[in-house]
Amino acid sequence: MSQQPRERKRLSRVMTVPGVISELDDDQANSVASDVQSSLIQDRIIIVANQLPVKAKRRPDNKGWSFSWDEDSLMLQCKDGFHEDMEVIYVGSLRVEVDPSEQDDVSQLLLDKFKCVPAFLPPDILNKFYHGFCKQHLWPLFHYMLPLRRFTRLRMGFFLHSPFPSSEIYRTLPVREEILKALLNADLIGFHTFDYARHFLSCCSRMLGLEYQSKRGYIGLEYYGRTIGIKIMPVGIHMGQIETVLKHADNEWRVKELKQQFQGKTVLLGVDDMDIFKGLNLKLLAMEAMLKQHPKWQGRAVLVQIANPARGSGKDLEEVQAEIQESCKRINETFGRPGYEPVVFIDRPVSLSERTAYYNVAECVVVAAVRDGMNLTPYEYVVCRQGVSGSSSSSESSVPKKSMLVVSEFIGCSPSLSGAIRVNPWNMESTAEAMNEAISMSDNEKQLRHEKHYRYVSSHDVAYWSRSFFQDLERACKDHFRRRCWGIGLSFGFRVVALDPNFRKLSIDAIVSAYLRSKKRAILLDYDGTVMPQTSINKSPSQEVLSIINTLSSDAKNTVFLVSGRGKDSLGQWFSPCKKLGIAAEHGYYLRWSADKDWEICGQNCDFGWFQIAEPVMKLYTESTDGSYIETKESALVWHHRDADPGFGASQAKELLDHLESVLANEPVTVKSGQYIVEVKPQGVSKGVVAEKIFTSMADKGRQADFVLCIGDDRSDEDMFERIGNASTSGVLASSTNVFACTVGQKPSKAKYYLDDTSDVLHMLRALAEDSDPLSDEEDEDSRSP
């Protein structure tokens, strides 16, 4: 008995049921929301874009809609790069307005027949979002035009099909940080060229303080515990679609017609959108200059310019259209003659079939855009000039296998077309010379350049692009199932935070309970960024901080240490009221068990001859890096660049690190980089060594700690967390010891707990102080000293 197919669920327009999507689906597929380790090969992929890859038409009887695939849609073409068993669902808006009474039926029809899920935006929202914010603000700005403003787990990739501007341009956007943070919720961010990616990374560095890392050929950004991959891959064309058009009989007829029309002429072709960034008028002016500088082409060279209808509107576009019309008229009146028109301007929709016919007769394609994310016109032209392999038609076999390209250096496809003549479109004389060179070049040279371009274009088509992006998305998400992700914030403030499954916020109730049960406690506290905010200008402790730490250190059951990178003099002076407080200064090089004890030197070597080597090198970088300075400690030298230009400061820090490691290679020192610092200090000095020394001393005196609290906020504190994690296995701490290693801020750490900020730290310490007992007169006050 055959199984009856199940009826597909109707798609609800508004989802109000709490829970996860997988719980609303009858099919128990291996979705990315499940805990089942799965590959995406047998899974479902959801492609989200502004518009669905379908065309919509009202039925002739005005009763409902008819839909068909939009073969030119990149969303649809991407499918060729996926496995044939992959279920692809498209999410986006329609180009037409659908009445609310018809939206349910339209949604179900699109889901059933096209696997498309439409998002019906109210007209006012659509206008503000697309025609307003996207087109009037983002689109001009991403093309380097500054507007004069009057006033849980899923894999997510984002690809930007436009330029990304330099940080100097992007930083003028009022919502600059919000957009960057929103983009960083993706697991993989793609760009057409390295320039666009470099600009994005520079913005992340300057505005968010994030530095990228390159490892084994991949670029990554660390952000809230996640590594966001950066993909550089120019999109390609749909080879099959163009080859199908080339085989069509109508195309052959159209090519013959155009060859007859331009018989005896050399055709230069331009195919562009009617847009203020496409440089149409610059191209016309370059054509005019070529005809003037090289009169031999008068009567012979023809520029056919196809201008696709404008997608937007506005005063700027109207001015450009007027300039184009004026230039066409002037050039044709100046150089035209009976039977010869130097500029043929086509400002109507041109089908792909007709476009390929023009490609076939053109000796050269010229792209003079002043900014363009990619521009696939040169790719299409190269494929059309190659023709269809194995074609038996006489006209097809006669298509010359040669082509020439003159392209703007400001378009995304320019780097991949190494045989093209690259130009600055603003320099019209240079563009004119390039056009002359292209059509004057020998056939053999044109053939060699064409073959080079065709090899690249044919092997890097849209299927290759989508497949490569998808593979990198899987690679970027390989650690998903080993991590726990949290969504924090709303709207542009939303961010995804990835944490270790055992990483959680420190519960005050839990730590107070453990504190009260214990008899021998060790409390280790960092200073800057832990009990003192990093942003505070006055770095001396407040009376509240002094009171809390004094209370904790006065409890006979407690051994309390301040473990800091600061110098011993400032720390000793600031915390002089805390008589029983231990201090480890300069990351532990100096150590004092209490105010009435002498400072000990814990370093292995007291020879500081390396100061005379390191200091001149640091001074050299300080002089050349505005905003940087040197901090001289008794045991270390620190170069700070927090106040320098973010990009230049980071670059100088890397150079300084390499320089110091080279000149100090034979010295007993360690060179490390940290948050806006490069530090040189003696070997064997770290906060981890301090922690182990304190625990060992307590154990030797019969006071092995049964409670450990360690709090810090930066890279140097990770040494403490690591030593504490290993202390129980080495016997320094008992396996039953309650250990609370805690970092400040939700970020990747070797600590198992976190507190959000310094106010959280003080709130927790205050709670412990309230449950502490002051040191009694009978208590041996030296019991905590070595």
pLDDT at 133: 86
Model confidence over 175-193: pLDDT tens digits? Answer: 999 899 989 989 999 999 9
pLDDT at 565: 86
Per-residue buried b or exposed e for 87-109, using 16+ beta carbons within 10 Å of the residue's own CB: eeebebbbeeebeeeeeeebbeb
Question: What is the rounded average pLDDT for all residues in the chain?
Answer: 85
User: What count of other Cβ atoms lies within 10 Å of the Cβ of residue 318?
Assistant: 11
User: Residue 132 in contact with residue 121, Cβ under 8 Å?
Assistant: no
pLDDT at 21: 44
Q: Which residues pair with residue 560 across a beta bridge?
A: 523
CA angle 73, 76, 82 (to 5 degrees): 145
pLDDT at 499: 66
pLDDT at 34: 41
Distance CA 274, CA 317 (A): 8
The H or E element spanning position 444 is helix 443-459
User: What count of other Cβ atoms lies within 10 Å of the Cβ of residue 563?
Assistant: 28
Q: Helix 646-663 vs helix 611-624: angle between axes, to the nearest 10 degrees?
A: 160
> Which comes out higher in pLDDT, residue 458 or 635?
458
**Confidence tier at 330 by pLDDT (50, 70, 90):** very high
Own/partner long-range contacts of 653-662 (Cβ < 8 Å, ≥24 apart): 653/677, 653/678, 655/621, 656/617, 656/618, 656/621, 659/617, 659/621, 660/614, 660/617, 660/618
* Residues 3-11, mean pLDDT to the nearest whole number: 50
pLDDT at 400: 54
CA-nearest of 199, 188, 184 to 468 is 188
**Confidence tier at 20 by pLDDT (50, 70, 90):** very low
- For the chain, helix, strand, coil in percent to 5 are 40, 20, 40
Distance CA 331, CA 338 (A): 14
Model confidence over 626-651: pLDDT tens digits? Answer: 999 999 888 889 999 988 888 888 88
* Residues 137-143, mean pLDDT to the nearest whole number: 82
| Residue at token pair 């231990």 | 582
* Residues 723-737, mean pLDDT to the nearest whole number: 80
pLDDT at 40: 43
**Confidence tier at 567 by pLDDT (50, 70, 90):** confident
Q: Please give the full DSSP string across 504-531, using - where no structure is assigned.
A: EEPPHHHHHHHHHH-SSEEEEE--BTTT
CA-nearest of 556, 531, 587, 565 to 711 is 531
- At 637, is the secondary structure helix, strand, or coil? strand
Model confidence over 47-69: pLDDT tens digits? Answer: 999 999 999 999 888 888 999 99
Residue 220 has pLDDT above 80, yes or no: yes
Percent of the chain with pLDDT over 70: 87
User: Residue 244 in contact with residue 467, Cβ under 8 Å?
Assistant: no
CA-nearest of 232, 205, 229 to 219 is 229
Q: Please give the full DSSP string across 115-150, using - where no structure is assigned.
A: -EEE----HHHHIIIIIIIIIIIIHHHHTT------
pLDDT at 306: 96
Distance CA 340, CA 59 (A): 45
CA 132 → CA 183, 309, 313, distances in Å? 20, 19, 11
| Residue at token pair 């019309």 | 325
Q: Which residues pair with residue 32 across a beta bridge?
A: none
pLDDT at 683: 83
- At 95, is the secondary structure helix, strand, or coil? coil
Distance CA 92, CA 741 (A): 46
Q: Which residues pair with residue 110 across a beta bridge?
A: none
CA-nearest of 311, 359, 326 to 457 is 359
Distance CA 405, CA 265 (A): 18
Tokens of 441: 């070049």
Distance CA 278, CA 272 (A): 7
CA-nearest of 118, 56, 121 to 91 is 118
CA-nearest of 161, 228, 169, 229 to 203 is 169
pLDDT at 42: 54
